[in-house]
Amino acid sequence: MNLAPLAAAALLLLGGIAPTGTSAERAPDAPGERIRRDQWHLRFLKSAEANAISRGDGVTVAVLDTGVDPHQDLRGNLLAGTSTIPGIPGDGRLDENSHGTGMAGLIAAHGQPDSTGAMGIAPDARIMPIKTSGSANTGQPDDLAAGIDYAVAHHADVISISSTGGVSADLVRSVRVALSSNIVVVAAAGNKPEDSYVGYPATESGVIAVGGIGQSGVVAPVSVDGPEIDVVAPAVDIYSTSYDGKYSKGTGTSSATAIVAGAAALIRSKYPDLPAAEVAHRLTATAIDRGPPGRDDQYGYGIIDLVAALTADVPPIGFESTGVTAPASTAAAPGTGDGGSTARGLATLGVLLAAGGGYLVWRRRRRAGDPPPRISR
């Protein structure tokens, strides 16, 4: 089916850290001490305990967004990237919006030696900044596709996409190439009221579709629900880095997506031989169940559990047991395989026309052998 006419539909960055808009509020004068204290999601997810096991070293996360400013809490981890926006050259290390800098900080901010400043989920991971959206918080599907192609060509281990919207043939191709290249792709589900259903690329089979929760662990009102949701993560009043060395906070599935991308970086660092599809499987298999028992359209398989994802005994895809248990003394051994065949097997799906919206949404097929969720706690 010809998707070319859809190429002009804009992609919208989903809340998260931004200088304007109802879903984001700047905190320009907040000192590093306050930011660290206000990063409630770190305590909620027990990130310090997880970082005693893995800090994301050796892993590169491509952040496809508005660019990433060389914030003092990020400079040690920030690589040179690129811009794929026609007429806007650069290496990705310029952000006139703050959204991309916020997402990068949630993934890999390293803070300061005096324990101030923002901290990311994987503070030793490297950030590959790819500017695919402009200062107005919007971009084009083909620019996003070019950014994904760049990430694949430059050997990113994880791709984080905190946006949703229009689909083009090139974007679908690029996402599928990334999945077949043994890259973990994480994407935002979407934000209400602007979105009424999970958007692309979160709907692509094999992509980790992320929803959001608040501090109580209850799904956030802003988080879109749907059968494609895989996991949820903190998404309300999330503090991170901003441009010009400042800090900000935001609400949206953008933030949750970056946090899950950081979790994927932790897993890839601890288990470097684990195929990308098994990384996604480990995240869903160890998620903490919420809502109705089992997978549901609001929470997916549940809230990500960083420590369990790094330590639990998770059978590989196709060999699920009736539960997921932590080992008595050692972490689970990494999976085996050719590093890409499992991911390639997840890239086939059908096309459905989204009701009312008039644009194509590529719906995922659920694996029949998906693992049972862990019990709520």
Burial class of residue 67 (count of CB atoms within 10 Å of its CB; 0-12, 13-18, 19+): buried
* CA 205 distance to own-chain centroid: 15
Instruction: Write the secondary structure of the chain as one string of H (helix), E (strand) and C (coil).
Output: CCCHHHHHCCEEECCCCCCCCCCEEEECCCCHHHHHHHCHHHHHCCHHHHHCCCCCCCCEEEEEECCCCCCCCCHHHECCCEECCCCCCCCCCCCCCCHHHHHHHHHHCECCCCCCCCECCCCCCEEEEEECECCCCEECHHHHHHHHHHHHHCCCCEEEECEEECCCHHHHHHHHHHHHCCCEEEEECCECCCCCCCCECCCCCCCEEEEEECCCCCECCCECCCCCCCEEEECCCEEEECHHHCEEEECCHHHHHHHHHHHHHHHHHHCCCCCHHHHHHHHHHCCECCCCCCCECCCECCECCHHHHHHCECCCCCCCCCCCECCCCCCCCCCCCCCCHHHHHCCCCCCEECCCCCCEECCCCCCCCCCCCECCC
**Residues acting as catalytic residues:** 65, 99, 254
Please, what is the angle between helix 276-285 and helix 253-270, to 10°? 110
The residue type found at 252 is G
Burial class (CB in 10 A: 0-12, 13-18, 19+), 149: middle
The C-alpha angle with vertex 370 and arms to 364 and 372, in degrees rounded to 5, equals 130
Looking up tokens 């043994």 gives 182
Q: Which residue has the tokens 């806007």?
A: 88
